[in-house]
Amino acid sequence: MKTIKEINEKIRKGDAVVVTAEEIIDLVEKKGVKKAAREVDVVTTATFGPMCSSGVYFNIGHSKPRIKLGGGSCTVNDVPVYAGFGAVDVFLGATAVPDDDPRNKVFPGEFKYGGAHVIQDLAGGKDVRLECGAYGTDCYPRKKLETLLNIKDLNEAVLFNMRNCYQNYNVAVNLSDKTIFTYMGMLKPKLGNANYSSAGQFSPLLKDPYYRTIGIGTRIFLGGGIGYVAWQGTQHNPCVSRGKNGIPLSGAGTLAVIGDLKQMSAEWLIGTSMAGYGVTLSVGIGVPIPVLDEEVVKRAAVTDACIYAQVVDYSRDYPQRNPRVIAEVSYAELRSGRIKLRGKNVPTGSLSSYARARKIACILKSWIGKGEFFLTEPSAALPGAESGYKVKVLNERLYKKE
Amino acid sequence: MISRKVVLHFPQKLVEQPIVFKLVKDYGLNFNILKAYVTPDEEGLMVLELSGEEAAFEKGLHYLKSCGVKIQPLSQDVVRNEKKCTDCGVCVPLCPAGALLPDAKSKRIIFTEDKCIACGVCVRICPFKAMEVHF
């Protein structure tokens, strides 16, 4: 019905009709799929939540005399950074914490500052403290380097997140009789609360459940700037069971994303401290869905009431990798503030910010509306629901110790 | 009608007496216990929201003082750093006072300070350190 090229032409002329993933729901309700598909050109989806497998690589430039960090050691604001590359390239992971952080020694640990906070500071234009040690070579004689760094002085600073944007996610509860601290937040005993983490009807991969328009090379809103889908994310698992509407009932698809950190902002990349668990980065992502035909609209207009998540016990089942699912609940129920579980009215909490997802979808809509953001054809498709591509678990094998 | 949150310190000798009951019976005050515990040296500590007619309120407080109860206004306040809050809502089910609730329309998390009992659970668990204790 429409091609991406035609939609881009409309964007160029300022004629494109762009609606958010929430607005398309109302539109389809009022006018039906057929009419909505004719009227709308792009649907903007978004999510904002903690995404641990995020990181930044950067090149600090060559000092005089030169130093080779590869094989040496390196910290930024006391957070260890991986230096096993060329002379002055390093990779900073979101969940890294300083060596002297007490971690969980006094439980639950606070995890006040880690890699994700460094990423936020860099994106926010703050100076950070670099400390390096190297072994020294004939061509790179220097053994020690201590300096302030600012993102504007780095050659490249690139956000590269190997797993973001989970298509769907567990609802975490605690069946034990003591409070636990997890990556899904504090869970009170005996079903004291139920925490979920998805933007639901705003979430990119829930609105394109078969990855028809989102693929490798898709241009996106990333951390306040422009980024791209680089690959399927780690643990991409598209072949899980799906509901009649095609929506996965569990985790399923993920995205690896990449973009220029220099364009991004500290508003959409936020250092996050999960008590008793660790540091993570909350990332804002927005993905445009081109309205190619009615099928795209039908999928994009799915509501929270038709998207289900699985309730999992995080006191025993999750840590022990037991596959038990306690219940399936819809995001509409989750968002109502309470869900019924085993006869109990359990209050719900969210890790993903719906308000922020909405804001991102609106920003992306305005970028496209103003002709500042164009859509891309994917260079290659993500492994799909029929691909046989599956996440594997680790089967440990013993080895002989010399 | 006035309503105020107060912190009451009961010395050991008063712990077993029905003092709060008298506030209701003799002074017609309403109370809501926000927090109560007995410290290791057996001093009682109670955070109360007291309400009633102004004259009765003052008489009630005078009665408490005459019994030897130490009265403090609730000086520990929890405030939200609006710049840091991302409106995720992970605090919502943990707040025992219902002071943190999502707005149905905007989906933003509304913090109602009047309902806050300064228990501090949100301060401990907010992933963005947006909830702060001010003394």
Distance CA B131, CA B135 (A): 13
User: Which tokens is A119 given?
Assistant: 């990423």
Predicted ipTM > 0.90: yes
- Give residue A256's Cα distance to chain centre: 8
Chain A residues touching residue B94 (CB < 8 angstroms): 186, 188, 193, 349
- Our CA angle for A333, A237, A383, nearest 5°, is 120
Confidence of residue B49 (pLDDT cuts 50, 70, 90): confident
Q: Is residue A362 among the annotated active site residues?
A: no
CA-based torsion, A240, A246, A250, A255: positive or negative: positive
CA distances from A83 to A62, A70, A75, A130, A321 (A): 14, 5, 9, 12, 33
B13 touches chain A (CB under 8 A): no
Q: Please say if the pLDDT value at position B40 is more than 90.
A: no
Q: Give the pLDDT of residue B2.
A: 85
Helix B19-27 vs helix B54-67: crossing angle, to nearest 10 = 150
Confidence of residue B76 (pLDDT cuts 50, 70, 90): low
Confidence of residue B47 (pLDDT cuts 50, 70, 90): confident
Which residue, chain included where needed, has tokens 């949100």? Answer: B122
B102 touches chain A (CB under 8 A): yes
Chain B residues touching residue A280 (CB < 8 angstroms): 127
Task: Note the pTM of the prediction, 2 decimals.
Answer: 0.90
Nearest to A74 by CA among A8, A29, A33, A129: A129
Q: Give the pLDDT of residue A190.
A: 98
**φ and ψ at residue A259, rounded to 5 degrees:** -175, 165
**Would you list the DSSP string of A262-310?**
GG--TTTEEEEEETTTEEEEEEEEEEEEE--SHHHHHHHT--GGG-EEE
Q: Across the interface, do B88 and A353 touch by the CB < 8 Å criterion? A: yes
Which residue, chain included where needed, has tokens 């389809």? Answer: A28
**CB-hemisphere CA count at 13 Å for A356?**
27
Q: Across the interface, do A348 and B127 touch by the CB < 8 Å criterion? A: no
- Give residue A156's Cα distance to chain centre: 22
Q: pLDDT per residue over A224-266, tens digit each?
A: 999 999 999 999 999 999 999 999 999 999 999 999 999 999 9
- Taking phi first (over 0 means left), then psi (-120 to 50 degrees means alpha), and beta for anything else, what does residue A297 get? alpha
Chain B residues touching residue A354 (CB < 8 angstroms): 87, 89, 107
- For residue A326, give the 3-state DSSP assignment: coil
- Our CA angle for A179, A183, A184, nearest 5°, is 70
CA distances from A74 to A69, A82, A185, B79, B114 (A): 7, 7, 31, 38, 48
Q: Are A140 and A67 in contact (CB under 8 A)?
A: yes
* Range picked from B31-40, B73-82, B105-114 for highest mean pLDDT: B105-114
**φ and ψ at residue A360, rounded to 5 degrees:** -65, -45
Q: pLDDT per residue over B80-106, tens digit each?
A: 999 999 999 999 999 999 999 999 999
How many Cβ atoms are within 10 Å of A146's Cβ, its own excluded?
A: 9
Confidence of residue B75 (pLDDT cuts 50, 70, 90): low
Pick from A48, A112, A195: which is nearest to B90 by CB?
A195
CA-based torsion, A139, A141, A145, A148: positive or negative: negative
Nearest to A160 by CA among A55, A64, A84: A55
Which residue, chain included where needed, has tokens 């408490």? Answer: B64
Q: Across the interface, do B125 and A272 touch by the CB < 8 Å criterion? A: no
Q: Are A206 and A167 in contact (CB under 8 A)?
A: yes
Q: Across the interface, do B89 and A353 touch by the CB < 8 Å criterion? A: yes
Distance CA A170, CA A329 (A): 10
Pick from A50, A112, A348: which is nearest to B93 by CB?
A348
How many Cβ atoms are within 10 Å of A384's Cβ, its own excluded?
A: 16
Identify from A339, A354, A358 which residue to disrupt to test chain B contact, counting B C-beta atoms within 10 A and taking the largest count: A354
Q: Across the interface, do B107 and A354 touch by the CB < 8 Å criterion? A: yes
Q: How far is B21 from chain A (nearest CA, A)?
A: 32
Distance CA A201, CA A289 (A): 13
What distance, in Å, lies between the first and last C-alpha atoms of chain B? 27
Chain A, chain B: beta-carbon pairs less than 8 Å apart: 72
- A221 burial type by CB count under 10 A (0-12 exposed, 13-18 middle, 19+ buried): buried
Q: How far is B101 from chain A (nearest CA, A)?
A: 9
Confidence of residue B133 (pLDDT cuts 50, 70, 90): confident
Q: Across the interface, do A351 and B127 touch by the CB < 8 Å criterion? A: yes
The DSSP H or E segment spanning B100 is strand B100-102
Beta bridge partners of A278: A274
Chain B residues touching residue A193 (CB < 8 angstroms): 93-94
Q: Give the pLDDT of residue A327.
A: 98
Beta bridge partners of B4: B50
Q: Across the interface, do A282 and B86 touch by the CB < 8 Å criterion? A: yes
Torsion angle of C-alpha atoms A21, A23, A24, A29, degrees rounded to 10: 140
Which residue, chain included where needed, has tokens 């520990």? Answer: B76
Beta strand residue intervals within A101-234, DSSP E: 128-133, 144-149, 157-164, 171-173, 180-182, 185-187, 194-196, 219-222, 225-232
Q: Give the residue numbers in A contacting B (CB under 8 Å), as ranges.
A: 48-50, 112, 185-186, 188, 192-195, 270, 272-275, 280, 282, 337, 346-356, 358
Q: Give the pLDDT of residue A205.
A: 98
- The mean pLDDT value for B40-68 works out to 87
The DSSP H or E segment spanning A120 is helix A115-123
Q: Across the interface, do A275 and B125 touch by the CB < 8 Å criterion? A: yes
- Which DSSP letter does residue A324 get? -
Chain A residues touching residue B99 (CB < 8 angstroms): none
Identify from B82, B87, B90 which residue to disrupt to test chain A contact, counting A C-beta atoms within 10 A and taking the largest count: B90
Q: Across the interface, do B128 and A282 touch by the CB < 8 Å criterion? A: yes
Distance CA B82, CA A359 (A): 16
Q: Which residues of chain A have pLDDT under 50?
A: none
Q: Across the interface, do B127 and A185 touch by the CB < 8 Å criterion? A: yes
Name the H helices within A40-100: none
Torsion angle of C-alpha atoms A347, A349, A355, A357, degrees rounded to 10: -130
Identify from A112, A169, A186, A333 which residue to disrupt to test chain B contact, counting B C-beta atoms within 10 A and taking the largest count: A186
* Catalytic annotation, pick one of A52, A74, A132, A139: A139
- Our CA angle for A23, A27, A29, nearest 5°, is 120
